[in-house]
């Protein structure tokens, strides 16, 4: 029975190991590029060969030790974290940082009269619904249209083009979601959104180096957004904006992308 169990579980575990190696390889490549290092320079820092580094980034070999991965991670200014989701010794959920930032959004938006739902499904009719990290809504006055806001919490800036396109799709889904919840006597609701980016050194470097891109994509005023989130009398800006959240998840502040902030 034991040998049969091993035979059944081994291929599944091997496939999962290759999936993990691919994810780690992609993350390692992005971290190295963000640090401005070549593979040769990074490998030298880690004390491994350049061909080994190249194989790590390729993610095609799951046999490298944790020590090798951790040395590679330290070489590009980060660390390797591992966990077993079902283990009782895990002191925090794997998405603890994300949860903390969602909690900060919900707590902050209460001051501005918003109601909020985290991980809200926006397209329930789809086989794989789009979800909003935090969806906020409020009515400032009986005569004013409802305001709906999508807050996307970005812990790690990666594949920016696809992430921005997906944000557009989620905003479109939010618009449909809000209209579907109108009452007969209500005005058409207004919708907009914000990227809330964790202010790590890496994320700030990427945004700073591509400020024209982010300014064009997030032209709204971060200050106006913070005012709208915390003040019931301040209307929600129509233009999307980018806000920072400090690494401890305790404070949101505007990104300085242009004169609007």
Q: Residue 68: give its domain's CATH number.
A: 1.10.260.40
For the beta carbon of residue 226, count every other beta carbon within 10 angstroms. 19
For residues 243 and 157, membership in a common domain is answered with: yes
Q: What is the pLDDT of residues 20-41, one digit of tens each?
A: 888 889 889 988 888 888 999 9
Q: How many percent of the chain have pLDDT more than 90?
A: 53
| Six-digit token string for 23 | 């994810």
Q: Is the pLDDT of residue 215 over 60?
A: yes
Taking the C-alpha atoms of residue 215 and residue 204, their distance in angstroms, rounded to an integer, is: 14
Position 136 in a domain: yes
pLDDT averaged over every residue in the chain: 86
Largest separation between any pair of C-alpha atoms in the chain: 70
- Residue 1 confidence (pLDDT): 47
Q: Is the pLDDT of residue 92 over 70?
A: no
Q: What is the pLDDT of residues 178-191, one digit of tens each?
A: 999 888 778 899 99
- Residue 87 confidence (pLDDT): 52
For residues 245 and 117, membership in a common domain is answered with: yes
Position 84 in a domain: no
- Specify the higher pLDDT residue, 218 or 13: 218
For residues 127 and 65, membership in a common domain is answered with: no
Q: Is the pLDDT of residue 91 over 60?
A: no
For residues 145 and 26, membership in a common domain is answered with: no
For residues 48 and 101, membership in a common domain is answered with: no
**Among residues 11, 40, 75, which one ends one of the domains?**
75
For the entire predicted model, the pTM comes to 0.67
Collect all residues with Cβ–Cβ distance below 8 Å to 115 and sequence separation of at least 6. 136, 137, 138
Position 59 in a domain: yes
Position 195 in a domain: yes
Q: Name the pLDDT band for 88 (thresholds 50, 70, 90).
A: very low
Identify the residue whose tokens are 């971290």.
Answer: 31
For residues 174 and 113, membership in a common domain is answered with: yes
Contact (CB, 8 A) for 144 and 188 = no
For residues 37 and 106, membership in a common domain is answered with: no
Which residue range(s) make up the domain with 103?
A: 96-254
- Residue 94 confidence (pLDDT): 57
- Residue 86 confidence (pLDDT): 53
Position 88 in a domain: no
Q: Which stretches of the chain are assigned E, i.e. beta strand?
A: 115-121, 131-138, 147-154, 190-198, 241-245, 252-254
- Residue 63 confidence (pLDDT): 87
For residues 116 and 235, membership in a common domain is answered with: yes
Report how far apart, in Å, the C-alpha atoms of 207 and of each of 158, 244, 256 are: 11, 11, 10
For residues 104 and 173, membership in a common domain is answered with: yes
Q: How many percent of the chain have pLDDT more than 70?
A: 87
The CATH number of residue 165's host domain is 3.40.1350
For residues 67 and 169, membership in a common domain is answered with: no
For residues 11 and 45, membership in a common domain is answered with: yes
Nearest to 241 by CA among 157, 150, 111, 174: 150
- Residue 89 confidence (pLDDT): 45
- Residue 101 confidence (pLDDT): 94
Q: Name the pLDDT band for 57 (thresholds 50, 70, 90).
A: very high
Q: What is the pLDDT of residues 3-17, one digit of tens each?
A: 554 555 688 788 888
Position 116 in a domain: yes
Q: Strand 131-138 to strand 252-254: parallel, antiparallel, or no bridges (unpaired)?
A: unpaired
For residues 131 and 63, membership in a common domain is answered with: no
Position 90 in a domain: no
**Among residues 15, 42, 75, which one ends one of the domains?**
75
Position 150 in a domain: yes
Taking the C-alpha atoms of residue 75 and residue 60, their distance in angstroms, rounded to an integer, is: 20
**Among residues 11, 46, 75, which one ends one of the domains?**
75
Q: Is the pLDDT of residue 128 over 90?
A: no
Total count of domains within the chain: 2
Q: What is the pLDDT of residues 59-73, one digit of tens each?
A: 888 889 888 998 898
């Amino acid at each position: 029975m034991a040998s049969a169990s091993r035979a059944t579980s081994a291929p599944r575990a091997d496939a999962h190991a290759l999936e993990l190696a691919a994810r780690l390889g992609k993350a390692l490549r992005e971290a190295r590029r963000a640090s401005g290092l070549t593979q040769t320079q990074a490998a030298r820092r880690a004390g491994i060969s350049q061909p080994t580094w190249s194989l790590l980034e390729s993610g095609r070999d799951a046999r490298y030790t944790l020590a090798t991965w951790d040395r590679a991670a330290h070489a590009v200014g980060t660390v390797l974290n591992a966990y077993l989701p079902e283990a009782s010794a895990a002191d925090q959920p794997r998405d603890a940082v994300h949860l903390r930032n969602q909690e900060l959004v919900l707590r902050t938006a209460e001051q501005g009269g918003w109601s909020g739902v985290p991980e809200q499904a926006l397209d329930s009719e789809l086989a794989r619904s789009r979800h909003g990290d935090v969806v906020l809504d409020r009515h400032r006055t009986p005569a004013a249209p409802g305001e709906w806001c999508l807050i996307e919490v970005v812990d790690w800036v990666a594949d920016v083009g696809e992430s921005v396109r997906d944000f557009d799709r989620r905003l479109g889904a939010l618009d449909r979601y809000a209209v579907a919840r109108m009452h007969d006597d209500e005005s058409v609701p207004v919708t907009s959104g914000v990227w809330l980016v964790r202010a790590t050194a890496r994320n700030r470097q990427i945004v700073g180096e591509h400020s024209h891109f982010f300014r064009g994509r997030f032209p709204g005023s971060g200050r106006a957004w913070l005012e709208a989130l915390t003040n019931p009398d301040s209307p929600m800006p129509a233009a999307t904006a980018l806000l920072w959240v400090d690494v401890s998840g305790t404070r949101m502040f505007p990104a300085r992308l242009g004169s609007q902030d």
